Structures are given as C-alpha cells and as structure tokens.
Amino acid sequence: ILQNVFLLLACIIRVSASRESGASSLDADASAAPDNTVDTEFHKEARIPESTSAKIAQQDTELDDDEEADDEDEYDNEYENEEDDQDDHDGDSFFEADQNEQNPRVIQRRGYKTNTNAGFLVDFHQDLKCSDFHHTASPIHDDATWVFMRSVYNAIVGPSNSTLPNDDLYGSGWSVPVYVGHHPFMGRGVFAQQFIAQGTPIWRNKYTARFTQGWQFRNFLLTLPRQLSCDVLIWSYVIQLDSGVQACTDLDAGSFVNQALREGEANTGLEFAPNAHLSATATKDIVPGEQLIAEYGDFSYPSGWYNLGLSQWW
C-alpha cells in the first residue's frame, strides 16, 4: 500500500512540473510572436512608396477642393431656391404698413434699379426678368388670383383710397357671359359665350385698381409674385381725369381684352361716366366664340406715365 502511495505522489509531482514547463514555453512563444494589432499609420508609411503617397495626397487635396466647390454650388443653389421661393410667396403676407405714412413699408422685392420711389416701367420689366415668360403659355387666372391681387391693392393704397368695392372683393365687372381663351396670334383673349346684340352693355370697371401716385403703383409691382407683376405691366394703362392722371389695372378678365390690330376691327366701345367709371358696350353684333376687341385709344392716355414718374419721356 505504501509503495502505491509513493508512486501516485511521484506522478502528481511529475505532471505539475510538466504543466509549469509548458506554460513557460507558451509565454516565451507569445513574447516572440509579432503583434497582430494593425497600426494603420505604420503600414501606410511602410507599404506605400513615397511617389504614390504624394500622388494620393494631391488627389486628396483635389477632392477636398471639389467638395468645397460642390458645397459652394449647393449653397448657391439653395440661395437661389430660397429667392425663388421668396418670389413665389412674396404675396402671401403682402404688407407691413402704416397708412398714415406717405410711403407704406411694404414687404417687397427690390431690384437693381427699382424700389418704392424709383424705377421706370422699362426698369421693372428688366428687374423682374419678364422676358422669361415670353416663351411660355401665359396663365389664365382664376377667381382666387383676382381676389388676391385686389387684396394687395387695398393693402397698399388703404381702404379710404381704394377704388374697389370695400364690401365685395369677389365678382366680376362683366354683365354678359364670356370666357378667356388663347388666341393663336394675340395670346390670351376674351370671347363671347353667347350672342351679344349691338348696344348691349358688357363690362364696367367695378374691379379696376386706380393709382394716383407713382409710388403706389411701384409698391404694387414690387409686392406681387413676379409673373403677376409682369402681367400688370402688360395690362395697365393711364387715364386722364379732371383731377389728374391715374394708373389703372383691371383686376378681372377685362385685362385680357385685346387691342384692335386694324381700323374698324373693334367690336366694343368704352366711355367714361361722370363718376370716372369706365364702361364698355358692344358696337356690333357679336356671335358666340367671337373675340371681344377694343380700341385702346378710346380711353388710354399714354403720356400719363411720365406725369406719374414711371416713364422717362413722352
């Protein structure tokens, strides 16, 4: 029995010594093995030739420059889009004014040559870039657009100076059924929906905005969205009254009535009533689908733009 005990102890001692020896060997191997942790900077410098490294550095610089340029372009595009968005929404909140002041502080677009107190019609045409719309189909405005423009006008001149009905911004000056369409050569025009007999009253300027001061008209142009402002430049005219000249813009489909191109072509006649209201009457029988044509010389006083400070010469 004692002999077996001694043999067992000897085996235990031998196994223990063997484990200690193996552990020491593993520690030695581990210390001799290379470190597997990747040092990116070390390997970058060790494995990439200097010429290639320089080329990469140059490319990185060029990419950085391109990214900066792209950032600048993106900023410019965002700025331009913001300007376009501002143009599209200029009329959404259209005034901030003290009507007791001579020149209301209207939230408006300012151009290179145009502001509340300066700028001729030709300057507005340039600053608004109205030529951008010459090659596109002109829109036919709905009732909501007319009401919006009437509201802008009232805000600029003030209720006491407005020539629109204060109790009714909705409606039309037409007393006969008409529609607005596109003529192949004359653009937008007004057409009869039914037969109109000669002598029939067809329209009156119930919704005509009248401006007695040049700054009022400028503010109107500066406040409206750009395409509407360009339309106003096309539509507007000046009349001469005993009290002076006034710039007028018909804020209904009356603005789409075209000018006669030949003598005798007009089928409507316009005349002033004593209260300075303009009314139109059919001067001929007009058949359904026929375009209503006016002679602008019957009512327009072009040199009045000079009197209002909106034209350089006449």
40-55 tens-digit pLDDT? 332 333 333 344 344 3
CA distance 138 to 249: 17
Q: Please report which confidence band the pLDDT of residue 278 belongs to, taking 50, 70 and 90 as the band edges.
A: confident
Asked whether residue 259 carries a pLDDT value surpassing 90, the answer given is: yes
Neighbours of 118 (CB within 10 A): 13
* pLDDT computed for residue 109 by the predictor: 57
CA distance 133 to 232: 13
Neighbours of 238 (CB within 10 A): 23
Burial of 298 (0-12, 13-18, 19+ CB in 10 A): middle
Which amino acid is residue 203, in one-letter code? W
How much of the chain exceeds pLDDT 90, in percent?
A: 49
Strand locations in 156-195, DSSP E? 178-183, 187-192
Residue 206 near residue 173 (C-beta atoms within 8 A): yes
User: What are the helix and strand counts (H, E) for the chain?
Assistant: 8, 10
**Higher-confidence position of 185 and 235:** 235
CA 116 to chain centre: 20
Phi, psi (degrees; rounded to nearest 5) at 220: -60, -45
Lowest mean pLDDT among 54-68, 124-138, 191-205: 54-68
CA distance 216 to 95: 12
Instruction: Name 245's bridge partners.
Output: 240
Nearest to 220 by CA among 156, 161, 158, 159: 156
Q: Which residues contact 128 (CB under 8 A, 6 or more apart)?
A: 111, 221, 226, 229, 230, 233
Rounded to 5 degrees, what angle do the CA atoms 29, 34, 36 make? Answer: 120
Asked whether residue 139 carries a pLDDT value surpassing 90, the answer given is: yes
* pLDDT computed for residue 298 by the predictor: 85
**Higher-confidence position of 24 and 276:** 276
Neighbours of 203 (CB within 10 A): 26
CA distance 285 to 69: 66
Entry pTM: 0.65
Average pLDDT of the residues of the chain:
74
Asked whether residue 151 carries a pLDDT value surpassing 90, the answer given is: yes
Which amino acid is residue 248, in one-letter code? C
Token reading at 22: 């193996």
Give me the count of residues in the chain: 314
How much of the chain exceeds pLDDT 70, in percent?
A: 63
Give CA separation, 120 vs 3, 72, 91, 299, 303, in Å. Answer: 127, 35, 22, 22, 13
